[in-house]
Amino acid sequence: MIKEQQWTEEIKSQEPLFSINLKEVWHYRDLLIMLVKKDYVTFYKQTILGPIWFFVQPILTTLMYVVLFGQIAKLSTDGTPQIVFYLLGITIWNYFSESLTKTATVFKDNAAVMGKVYFPRLIMPLSIIVSGLMKFAIQFGLFIAAVLYYTFVEESIHPNIWVLAAPFLLLLMAAFSLGLGMIFSSLTTKYKDLIFLLTFGIQLFMYATPVVYSVSSIPEKYQWIINANPLTGIFECFRYGFLGSGNFEPSSLLFSTGVTVVMLVVGVVIFNKVEKSFMDTV
């Protein structure tokens, strides 16, 4: 009697659009770790300062913002020290923008690998998000050091219980950039011009997000425009929790959560549809 073979892997040509095989993704976790390590090694291998750039970039950008927006433009920081105000905005925005722009070109950048080897395609955008989280953690540590100084030495800021929401806020930020990035990555396989639109658009989007200003500094009749941005609730909650400033409303965080969930679902659906045939158009 011939014993029926038990297959260890089964690759199907057709999967439901809403399918996310997390078990398979977990099975390929070693590949995810390898891609994250590769991102660090290839980017900093031939640099003199190496990972020190993680600290140099936000520090120099913060000092520039203090001069441009704090001293010249005189934008309000709700009474909080300009250093921590801009450092927080820069740290959060850098993670979002880099995750989005890299995820948006994941099909094009990895076409050679995806066309030869099978693995869950979701591994690629996930590796970008995880790699960005590690960089974010280092830069956020710099921000925490500044918060401790201004809290216990200068006593000019007063963190509150909302600091405990930081992991959830970071999860929202990662999910939003992942969902939006997968939408763009799926569309750019056919419409290459979207890459240029995204590069230009994300620069404008920064000024529609409270990165270098607080919502309370915007005239009341225009605040609805800023509040329509799903990132606004995340940024304002971060500031309110760590700096004790701003007019944070929990309803804005609920709005951000709802939009993020929708964006992630739409991103997964489009990504699953395009991944089966992207090699024909990339």
Average pLDDT value for the chain: 83
223 inside domain: yes
- Report how many domains make up the chain: 1
120 inside domain: yes
In whole angstroms, what is the distance from residue 24 CA to residue 203 CA? 36
* Contact present, 98 and 132 (Cβ < 8 Å): yes
The letter for the amino acid at 226 is I
pLDDT digits (tens, 9 = 90+) for 114-173: 667 777 778 888 888 988 888 898 889 999 999 999 999 988 899 999 999 999 999 999
Q: What pLDDT is recorded for position 169?
A: 95
DSSP state of 147: H
198 inside domain: yes
What's the pLDDT band for 23 if we cut at 50, 70, 90?
A: confident
Choose between 124 and 276: higher pLDDT: 124
136 inside domain: yes
Domain extent for 154: 68-280
Statement: residue 89 has pLDDT above 80: yes
In whole angstroms, what is the distance from residue 46 CA to residue 42 CA? 8
40 inside domain: no
5 inside domain: no
Q: What's the full length of the chain, in residues?
A: 282
In whole angstroms, what is the distance from residue 30 CA to residue 24 CA? 12
In whole angstroms, what is the distance from residue 59 CA to residue 87 CA? 7
Measured in whole angstroms, the distance separating CA 85 from the mean position of its chain's CA atoms is 19
pLDDT digits (tens, 9 = 90+) for 218-235: 888 888 889 999 999 999
**Which one, of 105, 69, 104, lies nearest residue 87 by Cα?**
69
26 inside domain: no
The letter for the amino acid at 239 is R
pLDDT digits (tens, 9 = 90+) for 245-274: 877 888 999 999 999 999 998 988 888 777
151 inside domain: yes
Q: What pLDDT is recorded for position 5?
A: 58
* Contact present, 232 and 226 (Cβ < 8 Å): yes
- pTM for this prediction: 0.85
